[in-house]
Amino acid sequence: MKKLFLVLSVAAVFASCKKDNGYTISGEAKGVDNDKMVIIATQSELGPISKDTVKIKDGKFEFKGIADKPEFCFLRIQDIGDMVPFILENGTIKVDFVKDSIRNSRVTGTVTNDQFQKYNDESKPIFKKMQAFQIANNQKMAMAQQSQDTVTVNSLRKQYMVFQDALNKKSEDFIQQHPESFLSVMLLENFTIYQSLPVDKIEKYYKLLTPEAKDNKHGKTIKDFLDKQTAVQVGKAAPDFSAPNPEGKTVSLKESLGKVTIIDFWASWCGPCRAENPNVVALYNELHAQGLNIIGVSLDKDADKWKEAIAKDKLTWTQVSNLKFWQDPIAEKYNVKSIPQTFILDASGKIVAKDLRGAELKAKIMELLAAK
């Protein structure tokens, strides 16, 4: 009896190890031709990279493997454009492809994929309202930008931010409620990429995450982001830089300092940047004589488009660009991951505020000018 118990115990251990160390992805793709490939892909800077493939047989497919750590991946069917995001992790994962609407496909079965599906289901109504608002107001925003109607631009942005804030809150709530989840570290990484959350909050949530949740490339990205932020945090001297202006002359930050200086990271291809430009133009025209200087740092690649945007938006302050897109050394030095982004400096070149917009930006500039 003792021997039998020992054998059963050992068998149970091996069965448990097998379950914990491997994944099975079982899926249905009704209406899709036999022998079409289903592809697991990961995302890189160059686009999707195939990780594994299987053929569809009688409307079904199955993957088996071992995931060392959870990984954000996509599933797609050969010759069908859209992809389904999911978390590749050990356990039994079920996929229901919707042939005519791949984005409405569902991935469930493991803890993180169930969380991800629920998060997406709850976020979808907000996304739909946001998209409807954009479609309804795109032309109105474009006309307001062209005429430099800052009242309309600010009103539309304020309405849009209601949706963005709702999505941010959903992500923040999830992170706080599930500090052990791989999804939490992914959501927090998104905040570093789009810089839609103050750095002190990102740091707070990073500390909240469990060691296991942070033990992956996403956790490392967040840590690297926070480490780099220390060099350009409020209270530090702004790192000096130099780059060519539109005429090809090298201009430095040091020689561009005023009583108050705004470093404005932007690009001709950035819609939100162009939408903000009328506000900045109005601010500069009103306060430049009192000591406000601005140096625009563009992440453009095309010199002609950069210069056209400067002329069209009537940006009369100092402009520089290395024309290196996201690889711009100034953007890297300032840890800029999204634009528009601004740094406000005092007369000594110290960073006193970041990422202010509209009325908040004007109030801060006037406060600094009055203090001189």
For the chain, domain boundaries:
17-109, 113-232, 242-370
Judge whether residue 338 has pLDDT over 90.
Answer: no
Report residue 357's pLDDT band, with 50, 70 and 90 as the boundaries. Answer: confident
Judge whether residue 345 has pLDDT over 80.
Answer: yes
Q: Count the neighbouring beta carbons within 10 Å of the beta carbon of residue 138.
A: 12
Report the pLDDT value the prediction gives residue 85, as an integer from 0 to 100: 92
Domains 17-109 and 242-370 belong to one CATH topology: no
> Do the bridges between strand 318-320 and strand 292-298 make them parallel or antiparallel, or are there none, so unpaired?
parallel
Judge whether residue 227 has pLDDT over 80.
Answer: yes
- 3-state class of 350 per DSSP? strand
Judge whether residue 344 has pLDDT over 60.
Answer: yes
For residues 365 and 260, the answer to whether their CB atoms sit within 8 Å is yes
Judge whether residue 10 has pLDDT over 60.
Answer: no
Report residue 146's pLDDT band, with 50, 70 and 90 as the boundaries. Answer: confident
Lowest mean pLDDT among 37-41, 164-168, 228-232: 228-232
Tally of CA atoms within 13 A in the half-sphere of 127 that contains its CB? 7
In one-letter notation, the amino acid at residue 229 is Q
Judge whether residue 137 has pLDDT over 50.
Answer: yes
What phi and psi, each to the nearest 5 degrees, are found at residue 76? Answer: -145, 160
For residues 265 and 290, the answer to whether their CB atoms sit within 8 Å is no
Judge whether residue 19 has pLDDT over 50.
Answer: no
CATH topology of domain 17-109: Immunoglobulin-like (2.60.40)
Judge whether residue 13 has pLDDT over 50.
Answer: no
Report residue 193's pLDDT band, with 50, 70 and 90 as the boundaries. Answer: confident
Which residue intervals of 1-68 are DSSP H helices? 2-21
Measured distance CA(164)–CA(129) in Å, rounded: 11
CATH topology of domain 242-370: Glutaredoxin (3.40.30)
Judge whether residue 8 has pLDDT over 70.
Answer: no
Query: What integer is the mean pLDDT of 59-77?
Result: 91
In one-letter notation, the amino acid at residue 360 is E
Query: What integer is the mean pLDDT of 251-270?
Result: 94
Average pLDDT in the chain: 88
Beta bridge partners of 87: 72
